[in-house]
Amino acid sequence: MVKKTGILNSDLAKVADDLGHTDLVCIGDLGLPVPKGIQKIDLALKRGEPRFIDVLKVYLDNIVVQKIFLADEIRTQNPEQLQAIQALLPEGVSVVYYSHEELKEMTKQCKAVVRTGEDTPFSNIILESGVTI
């Protein structure tokens, strides 16, 4: 049977189905390095596609998220993307900022890194899964 709704990418759907409370998943731009040993789910088709924000929207529509981590540099280097992220966040989601270098180091703790075709600076996010009530 072919899935009709939800996350259709089979690799990302499997990661999503296996998430536990506080597990981390990263959605990144096309230049974000993926640490050795961390699953890379490559959605990039060409520069700019799919957009980071479109992938994030689908993820947030399907996964309970309690906290996100962003690079502090997004505030000054890509404020439009930051606004778009904030507009998608459900109420009560905590936002934590780290330097871009610290965020890249944090990807070593992620269950997977999802690569998009996004080519704007600091379009990377780490999402901490929550629990359904």
Q: Is 100 annotated to bind ligand?
A: yes
Q: Tokens for 55, please give them.
A: 């992938």
Report the CATH architecture of 11-129. Answer: 3-Layer(aba) Sandwich (3.40)
Asked whether 112 and 28 are in contact (CB, 8 A), the reply is no
Compute the distance between CA of residue 119 and CA of residue 101 in angstroms, rounded to an integer: 18
pLDDT of residue 102: 98
Residue 69 labelled as part of a binding site: no
The domain segmentation of the chain, as residue ranges, is 11-129
Residue 18 has a pLDDT of 96
- Which pLDDT score, from 0 to 100, does residue 2 have? 67
Active-site pick, 3, 21, 75, 108 = 21
pLDDT of residue 4: 77
Phi, psi of 95 (to 5 degrees): -120, 125
- Tell me whether residue 123 is annotated as binding: yes
- Answer yes or no: 24 catalytic: no
Instruction: Tell me the mean pLDDT per 10 residues along the chain, length 133.
Output: 82 96 98 97 98 98 97 98 98 97 98 98 98 84
CB 100 within 8 A of CB 72: yes
CA angle 42, 10, 96 (to 5 degrees): 60
